[in-house]
């Protein structure tokens, strides 16, 4: 979606994804939003978890009157369907759209949605992506200024996250080259990868760079901006915290992309309680370790800095 990047944008877009369901993406979107709003920033949250939208319930909102359904089916503009929250400077675009499956969103609708997201009057637009690596999810992830993935310290979450990032990167390479008139090249080379001795995405990118020097220049420039921020949720031990650094290393060495380990969030039953009570966590559980973890990592994402690791060797 490089072309939409050129549109004038108002605020900074953060997209929160990561592949696996149940890792706390929606919870963290609600928390990051509250944190930024409490800092005095103007925030809009967008629930793009199509089919499983529930971001509104993290703010105690029952059945929103307006949702993305109105945008897709009635042609409302995004600014017409903003829902208020208990924080004055934070509004919500809910995704309560039973009638819409992600597959049925037309390409033109998607572009229209992206254009309007970019024009939202806010300092930060936070987009909660659903689980999985659907094309619409990937494209939404790629319009963001801060591409954030959430995972928990377990093998399936790590595996899904790799899958999600690989798919995003593959999609990005395709979109970039499509823009320069090489729409088919990427898929073509990939489909015949065995002939070229290519085993994985990194080798595909290296092959494209080496074969066509101008493509190399383009990809170097575009992919140097492909940075992903990592949040490790439901952490129980110091060893878990260090997993974030290990994952960062592996992704950098394996895919050659930039990774920032934004930080971790410790496991805490207060989270579960706040979800059950339908009370915004960052407004009601400020004294928990969780809340300070979230504040610290949100600050890191804002500043583009990274988490300090606990001392010692992993």
245 in contact with other proteins (CB under 8 A): yes
Binding segment toward other proteins, per CB under 8 A, in 53-61, 168-176, 178-186, 239-247: 239-247
Of 8, 155, 214, 276, the one binding other proteins (CB under 8 A) is 155
Nearer to other proteins, 183 or 199 (CB): 199
243 in contact with other proteins (CB under 8 A): yes
Binding segment toward other proteins, per CB under 8 A, in 19-27, 62-70, 93-101, 157-165: 157-165
Tell which residue, 151, 148, 132, 145, has the closest CA to residue 244. Answer: 151
Nearer to other proteins, 197 or 312 (CB): 312
* Residue 22 Cβ vs other proteins, minimum distance, rounded to whole Å: 17
* Residue 157 Cβ vs other proteins, minimum distance, rounded to whole Å: 9
Residues 226/258, Cβ–Cβ less than 8 Å: yes
Q: List Cβ neighbours of 28 (8 Å cut-off, separation of 6 or more).
A: 16, 150, 231, 233, 265, 294
Partners of 147 in the beta sheet?
15, 228
Nearer to other proteins, 165 or 176 (CB): 165
CA–CA gap between residue 105 and residue 84 (Å, rounded): 26
* Residue 151 Cβ vs other proteins, minimum distance, rounded to whole Å: 11
Binding segment toward other proteins, per CB under 8 A, in 57-65, 172-180, 210-218, 245-253: 245-253
252 in contact with other proteins (CB under 8 A): yes
For residue 179, what is the enclosing H or E element? helix 155-179
Residues 301/146, Cβ–Cβ less than 8 Å: yes
Distances (CA, A) of 256 to 83, 157, 174, 243, 269: 40, 21, 17, 18, 37
Nearer to other proteins, 80 or 154 (CB): 154
User: Which residue is listed with tokens 């254009």?
Assistant: 115
* Chain residues 56-115 in contact with other proteins, contact rule CB under 8 A: none
Partners of 259 in the beta sheet?
228
Interface residues toward other proteins, by CB under 8 A: 153-155, 158-159, 162, 199-200, 242-243, 245-250, 252-254, 312-314
């Amino acid at each position: 979606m490089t072309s939409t990047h050129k549109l004038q944008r108002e605020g900074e877009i953060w997209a929160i994804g990561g592949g696996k369901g149940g890792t706390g993406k929606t919870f963290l979107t609600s928390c990051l939003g509250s944190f930024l709003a409490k800092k005095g920033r103007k925030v809009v949250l967008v629930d793009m978890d199509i089919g499983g939208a529930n971001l509104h319930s993290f703010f105690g909102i029952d059945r929103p009157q307006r949702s993305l359904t109105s945008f897709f089916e009635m042609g409302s503009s995004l600014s017409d369907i903003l829902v208020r929250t208990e924080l004055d400077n934070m509004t919500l675009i809910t995704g309560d759209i039973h009638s819409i499956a992600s597959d049925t969103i037309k390409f033109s609708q998607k572009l229209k949605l992206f254009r309007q997201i970019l024009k939202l009057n806010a300092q930060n637009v936070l987009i909660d992506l659903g689980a999985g690596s659907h094309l619409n999810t990937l494209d939404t992830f790629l319009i963001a200024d801060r591409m954030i993935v959430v995972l928990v310290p377990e093998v399936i979450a790590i595996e899904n996250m790799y899958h999600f990032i690989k798919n995003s990167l593959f999609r990005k390479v395709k979109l970039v080259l499509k823009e320069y008139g090489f729409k088919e090249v990427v898929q073509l080379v990939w489909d015949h990868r065995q002939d070229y001795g290519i085993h994985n995405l990194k080798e595909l990118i290296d092959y494209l760079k080496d074969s066509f020097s101008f493509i190399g220049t383009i990809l170097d420039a575009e992919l140097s901006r492909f940075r992903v921020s990592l949040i490790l949720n439901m952490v129980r031990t110091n060893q878990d915290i260090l997993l974030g650094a290990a994952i960062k290393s592996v992704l950098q060495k394996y895919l050659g992309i930039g990774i920032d380990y934004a930080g971790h969030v410790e496991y805490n039953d207060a989270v579960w309680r706040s979800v059950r009570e339908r009370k915004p966590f960052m407004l009601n559980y400020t004294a928990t370790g969780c809340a300070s973890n979230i504040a610290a990592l949100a600050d890191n994402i804002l500043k583009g800095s990274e988490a300090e690791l606990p001392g010692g060797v992993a």
